[in-house]
Amino acid sequence: MNGVPGSHQKQPAPDLAPVHTNTFASSRCAEPATHGPANNASTQHEAGASPPEPGAAQPAGGPTRNLGQKWTEEEEGELVRLVVDDDHRERMLGEGIAHNDWPALAVHFGRVREGRCPGNGVRHKYWTLEHGDAGDGAEGGKTRRRHYTKTPYKLLIVTALERLPGQVGTVKEILDTIAATPAYKSDLDWSVHKGSKTYPKWHVNCSRQLGRHPKLFERAGQRKRKRGAMPLWKLRQEKLVEQRKHKLSTKTAMPFLGKKHG
């Protein structure tokens, strides 16, 4: 009697235990097998989409992290400074970045748009900061570009560089020379540029003209200082003479359209 119940009690124990243990173990092993790669893939996907490392390669979602969000006043001021201040742009974005490299600026602000022109949104934002929104100061929502100065900004820069030694100078030296010219004082708009807390409007416009006319103004190295180096701009006198001759020849070659007398 003791042997039979003993054998009867021992038999189910080994039979049930392995079955229960094996099924539970197999289910636990199956879970990591199915969920492990998925978790790894999702982790890699998330890491690839928005890596916390600032020095890592740009992720797929990194350049578009702020797309669609409203610009802050700090971002607007920084955009103006990056466009106007060559020294600050080189310090923040590296060497060789032009003031109108809108794709590079779009990556910096996380506002890259899909398509052939990824920097169009940033370019349009800067244009709005410079000229105002549509309808500002106009009836019916219409707006037009208004130039405050009677003298073109390009001519202001040419005059300043012609007065500097070697016709070479930094942006600050050029602006200081323009401001010190009595004939141009009435042309300078000292009101603060929209989006900037310190830069006058004529500073911004003159600084932009340096990059818009590479045939007339060229980079001539850098001038070292304690906090870094300031880019130098040189007037290409030979190109200036060519442009003046071309304008003069164009005027003399134009046919007389008025009424002849006598």
Mean pLDDT of all residues in 199-222: 86
At 81 the pLDDT is 83
Residue range 70-117, pLDDT digits in tens? 888 888 888 888 888 888 888 888 888 888 888 999 999 999 888 778
Asked whether residue 119 is assigned to any structural domain, the reply reads yes
Q: Within this chain, do residues 194 and 158 fall inside the same structural domain, yes or no?
A: yes
The whole-angstrom separation of Cα 145 and Cα 257 is 30
Does one domain contain both 90 and 165?
Answer: no
**Are 180 and 123 found together in one domain?**
no
114 located within any domain = yes
- The single residue listed with the structure tokens 């052939």 is 116
pLDDT at 60: 46
pLDDT score at 247? 64
Decide if 171 contacts 210 (C-beta within 8 A): yes
Is 18 within the bounds of a domain? no
Of 8-17, 197-206, 208-217, the one with minimum mean pLDDT is: 8-17
Summarize pLDDT for 42-83 with one digit per residue, the tens: 333 333 333 333 333 444 457 888 888 888 888 888 888 888
Residue 179 confidence (pLDDT) = 92
161 pLDDT above the threshold of 80 = yes
Are the CB atoms for 75 and 111 separated by under 8 Å?
Answer: no
What pLDDT digit, counting tens, does each position of 121-147 carry? 888 888 777 665 444 444 444 444 444
pLDDT at 176: 94
- The parent domain of residue 169 ranges over 153-249
Mean pLDDT of 218-231: 79
pTM over the 0.85 mark: no
Does 13 map to a domain? no
Which pLDDT score is estimated for 223? 81
DSSP-derived secondary structure for the chain = --HHHHHHHHTHHHHHHHHHHHHHHHHHHHHHHHHHHHHHHHHHHHHHHS-S-TTSPP-SSGGGTTTTSPPPHHHHHHHHHHHH-HHHHHHHH-TT--TT-HHHHHHHHT-PPSSS-TTHHHHHHHHHHHH-STTTTSGGG--------SS-HHHHHHHHHHHSGGGEE-HHHHHHHHHT-GGGGGG---SBPTT-SS-BHHHHHHHHHHHH-TTTEEEEEEEEETTEEEEEEEE-HHHHHHHHHHHHHHHHHSPP-S----
Residues forming beta bridges with residue 229, ordered by sequence position: 224
How many structural domains compose the chain?
2
